[in-house]
Amino acid sequence: MLRSLRARLFLSYLLIAGLMLVLIALGLWVLLRNNPLAEQVTYRRLELGLPFISRRQGRSIIEMGPQELDQAVARLEQVLGERVLLLDPGGQILSESRPGSSPFPPRAIREALQQPGTFRGRFLDAEGTQWLFVSQGLEQGYALVVTAQRPSVRVLGLLLGDDFLRPLLQAGFAALALSILLSFGIARWITRPLDRIAQAARAVAAGEYNRDLNTSGPREVESLAIAFNEMIHQVEGGQKIQRDFVANVSHELKTPLTSIQGFAQAIVDGTAGDTASKQHAAQVIYDESDRLRRLVEELLDLARIDAGQIDFRRDRV
């Protein structure tokens, strides 16, 4: 199948289209993996819960008792579905919604306590998972922290699957199907003039020399068609010259053979009875045989020249 030009062109266009789709998919994956918009959305979602927990029933969170504080933190955990921590000025965790989670790193604690207002940060846990957190400075050096995992490609895919990825995949498959049809059409459009030239070549080989090709089309195909038409005319002219040459040679060979045959017949049937007539007939046969020999030698020389077996030396005349 791949020995035909049409199949190779079709496969080449198909590979290019597939490669483009793969590059687009890789670009989309990189975009989803390093998408800053997803981080901004996560940060914004975490910041929305800070006013809810920083004050409860008109009182500051640091004025609550331990039990009420744990209830407020658990309430925010239920609303946001994320981990919530309350830090004292010494860096100790007063309350946490997920006590069994990985430890909040000291560096992140220092960053949260050093910022009087809202602060956005990130850290890596012991397993290498990246976390985003938002801290809010409170009275007397306390800080409230809400943290969540950085959105992964899988999570973004689940969130955007119905609204973004599914239409994108449908568009990708539609583009692939369209590229297959276009590749087949382009390959056929390119190879069609070559098929016509091949058909004309087979016709010329069969002896049909009236098969001039249409010279319209791309520049390369037009040049090939013009060269093919010139070749047909030259071959046709060569065939005519060859026919004329064979006719002339046949005539030149037939003339001495006729003389030889006639005078030989005269000797055989006794028409040339006397010695002078026989001598004349023999002389004619000898002369015509010599003429015939010269014709054959000239034909052999012509054949050797045509075969390139004779070297010529060129001199000034």
Confidence band for 57, pLDDT divided at 50, 70 and 90: very low
Say if residue 303's pLDDT is above 80: no
What pLDDT, on a 0 to 100 scale, did the predictor assign at position 58?
Answer: 39
Least confident of 123-132, 206-215, 296-305: 206-215
Q: Which residue has the higher pLDDT, 155 or 237?
A: 237
Sorting pLDDT into bands at 50, 70 and 90, what band is 244? confident
pLDDT band (50, 70, 90) for residue 243? confident
- pLDDT cut 70: percent of the chain above it: 80
**Highest mean pLDDT of the ranges 44-58, 194-208, 287-301:** 287-301
More reliable by pLDDT, 292 or 210: 292
Note the pLDDT tens digit of each residue in 92-139.
888 888 877 778 888 888 888 887 778 888 888 877 778 888 888 877
- Tell me which of 80-89, 90-99, 180-189 is least confident: 180-189
Model-level pTM? 0.42
Question: How far, in Å, CA of 64 to CA of 80, rounded?
Answer: 21
What share of the chain in percent tops pLDDT 90?
A: 0
Closest CA to 184 of 176, 196, 173: 176
* 22 has pLDDT over 60: yes
